[in-house]
Amino acid sequence: MLRIFIILFFFTVSLGLPAEELSFNTADNATIYANFQPRGSHAVLLAHGAIFNKESWGKFEQRLLTEDFTVLAIDFRGYNKSTQGDKAQALYEDILAGVRFLRQQKNIKQVSILGASMGAIAAAKASVYAEAGEIDQLILLSPSRVYKPEELKGRLLFIASEHERLATILKSSYIKAPEPKSLQLIKGKAHAQHIFKTPQAETLTTIIIDFLQAASRDK
């Protein structure tokens, strides 16, 4: 019994360890800082919105960890310690560098991106410029535009609040995007990460977790 207790204690403590802050360079010489929390073989890169940063994912990030997803939450260039690169506003390069960092980890078999608002714009562009097979799943949460939706790669999930202004843009991009894809409109009008502050937070979390877990099972 004591042996079981000790094992459970150290397992619980390990789940509560703080994220490791690390950095990596982009193709255009930006330095991107990120919080890295390794868990299972399916990694999720979190790309924040314009008024947020890598620390902003809160309970949702903890839920990913509880469900055994490895998490890499980045600070885009110009946020906190992340520095600008040679290309102006090339946020997609920050995501591609994060994806390639994850692909270098020996236990990672799948990489998904969740981009919110500004992060979703960058995530879509990263998907277009990524090599085939680099990004397995792409989740776009309330982007104001989607770069070349017809060229997006991997399994696609489009999400927005049904009454936010950007829902129309999202639906238009969804129609142009290739299969496999799905579209989810959530009650209310909250935008992107702000949905996590509303009564729809659990609905949004469940939609994303279910999408990621289905992809893990099908791999």
Task: Give pLDDT, residue 13.
Answer: 38
Report the CATH number that the domain containing residue 203 is assigned in CATH.
3.40.50.1820
Per-position b or e across 96-108, b if 16+ CB within 10 A of its CB? bbbbbbbeeeeeb
Question: What does the pLDDT look like over 145-161, one tens digit per residue?
Answer: 999 999 999 999 999 99
User: Is the separation of the CB atoms in 79 and 13 below 8 Å?
Assistant: no
Q: How many CB atoms lie within 10 A of CB 194?
A: 19
Task: Give pLDDT, residue 219.
Answer: 62
Position 8 in a domain: no
| Cis amide leading into 180 (omega within 30) | yes
Task: Say what angle helices 91-103 and 118-129 make with each other, to 10 degrees.
Answer: 60
DSSP code string of 75-109: PPTTSTT----SSTT-HHHHHHHHHHHHHTSTT--
Candidates 44, 54, 114, 113; CA nearest to 81 is: 54
Q: What is the pTM of this model?
A: 0.91
Least confident of 2-11, 77-86, 126-135, 149-158: 2-11
Question: What does the pLDDT look like over 31-58, one tens digit per residue?
Answer: 999 999 999 999 999 999 999 999 999 9
Structural domain boundaries, residue 185: 20-218
Question: What does the pLDDT look like over 65-103, one tens digit per residue?
Answer: 999 999 999 999 999 999 999 999 999 999 999 999 999
Task: Give pLDDT, residue 217.
Answer: 73
3-state secondary structure 142-166: CCCCCCCHHHCCCEEEEEEECCCCC
Query: What's the CA gap between 139 and 114, in Å, rounded?
Result: 5
Position 134 in a domain: yes
Candidates 179, 181, 159; CA nearest to 169 is: 159
Position 2 in a domain: no
Position 6 in a domain: no
Task: State the total domains in the chain.
Answer: 1
Could you tell me the two tokens for 85? 């690169």
Task: Give pLDDT, residue 1.
Answer: 42
Candidates 141, 213, 135; CA nearest to 174 is: 141
Q: Does residue 195 register a pLDDT over 60?
A: yes
Position 37 in a domain: yes
How deeply is 209 buried, as exposed, middle or buried, from its count of CB atoms within 10 A (0-12, 13-18, 19+)?
middle
Position 78 in a domain: yes
Could you tell me the two tokens for 50? 């314009």
User: For the chain, how big is the Rg over CA atoms in Å?
Assistant: 17
Position 13 in a domain: no
Position 179 in a domain: yes
